[in-house]
Amino acid sequence: MINQLKKLKNRFLSIILIVILVFIIGFSNTGIHYINVAERFIGDLLTPVISVFSTSINKISSDFNTLSNIPELIDENKILREENIALKEENLDLNHIISRTPYLRSEYELLRNTKFKVESSNIIGKSNDDRDLYLIDKGSLAGIKPGDSVISGVQSSENVIVEGLVGIVREVGDNFSKISLITEENNNIAFTNIRSQDGGIINHTTGSVLEGYMYEFNSDVVADDRVYTSGLGEVYKPRIYLGKISNVTSDEDDLQKRITIVPAVNFDKLTRVFVITGETNE
């Protein structure tokens, strides 16, 4: 294909050279003079032809150069595609880091400040039984045992990261464990209002909301009060943040003050937890 283009290009160049020579010979023989009728006729006839030939040759030359550069263009295109893919992957990584930044910060602050001995673990799935147990990727070989409290780093107040209660370990294998979340079953969790030190118990869950009551009908409790585990019953470790009270109602007939609590842990985005494997380090 390229050889044919070269031959065609050479033919056009030869024709143009011949035409130019004819004109030069004509001018050389007669000297400078006004164009006569015959010369004008020939000029008018050949000028469009020369113009067409010139345009064709320029286009063919341009196409020839383009064809000769195809291998280089293919290499450049391949490089651009690879760079584009790399940029997309880098962008995904950056977006993931940005979206994970609050959780990474919470985990870092929790590990730095907690007084508990903890074992970090990832949630890897959900069990197939009816108990809504979640699977984590650590077990007895990591020191985890049934009854251990499960926590996550949460923000209690502005710029303060504390242990937030996730649930409890129910079953343990060598390299995995099953945990139940505080929002997944109606287990009794004793708590203390951190502001007034009045106590109560959580005995029911509705969706993502915890429900319970105060021990005393005259307890000092209002919306936005923060509650922590009290440690009564020795089921959960004491002073683990549960959440904020969102509503308080008084039942005059039963002489009970009922409360609802919004958990501190965001269970919808929970992918990593910490199991308390021992007493405080102090």
CA-nearest of 67, 237, 13, 271 to 153 is: 271
SS3 72: helix
pLDDT single digits (tens) 206-257: 878 999 999 999 999 999 999 999 988 878 889 999 999 999 998 877 788 9
pLDDT single digits (tens) 43-54: 555 555 555 555
Flag whether pLDDT at 95 surpasses 80. no
Contact 134, 115 (CB under 8 A): no
What pLDDT does residue 99 have? Answer: 43
Q: How many CB atoms lie within 10 A of CB 166?
A: 26
Q: Between 37-68 and 2-30, two packed helices, what is the crossing angle to 10 degrees?
A: 150
CA separation for the pair 120, 92 (Å, rounded): 25
Flag whether pLDDT at 157 surpasses 80. no
Band (pLDDT 50/70/90 cuts) for residue 9 is low
CA separation for the pair 14, 29 (Å, rounded): 23
Band (pLDDT 50/70/90 cuts) for residue 32 is very low
Q: What percent of the chain has pLDDT over 70?
A: 64
pLDDT winner (highest mean) among 62-66, 245-249, 277-281: 245-249
Flag whether pLDDT at 172 surpasses 60. yes
- State the residue for tokens 């990261």: 161
What pLDDT does residue 96 have? Answer: 43
What pLDDT does residue 63 have? Answer: 54
Mean pLDDT for 75-87 is 75
Q: What percent of the chain has pLDDT over 90?
A: 35
CA separation for the pair 20, 117 (Å, rounded): 97
List Cα–Cα distances, 220 to 157, 228, 245, 247, in angstroms. Answer: 21, 15, 12, 13
**For the chain, how far is it from start to end, CA to CA, in angstroms?**
85
- Residue 133 is classified by DSSP as E
102-112 core/surface letters (b: 16 or more CB in 10 A; e: else): ebeebbebbee
What pLDDT does residue 88 have? Answer: 63
pLDDT single digits (tens) 119-152: 999 999 887 766 678 999 999 999 999 999 999 9
SS3 239: coil
Flag whether pLDDT at 79 surpasses 90. no
Predicted model pTM: 0.62
What pLDDT does residue 248 have? Answer: 93
Give the start-end residues of each E strand in the chain. 116-126, 133-136, 149-157, 160-172, 177-181, 189-193, 199-206, 209-214, 226-229, 241-251, 256-263, 272-280
- State the residue for tokens 């000029």: 43
Flag whether pLDDT at 21 surpasses 50. no
Contact 200, 242 (CB under 8 A): no
User: Residue 91: enclosing H or E segment and its boundaries?
Assistant: helix 70-113
What pLDDT does residue 41 have? Answer: 52
CA separation for the pair 104, 217 (Å, rounded): 41
What pLDDT does residue 83 have? Answer: 72
Flag whether pLDDT at 262 surpasses 90. yes
What pLDDT does residue 154 have? Answer: 85
CA separation for the pair 152, 143 (Å, rounded): 18
SS3 40: helix
- What token pair was written down for 142? 């990591």
Residue of higher predicted confidence among 34 and 86? 86
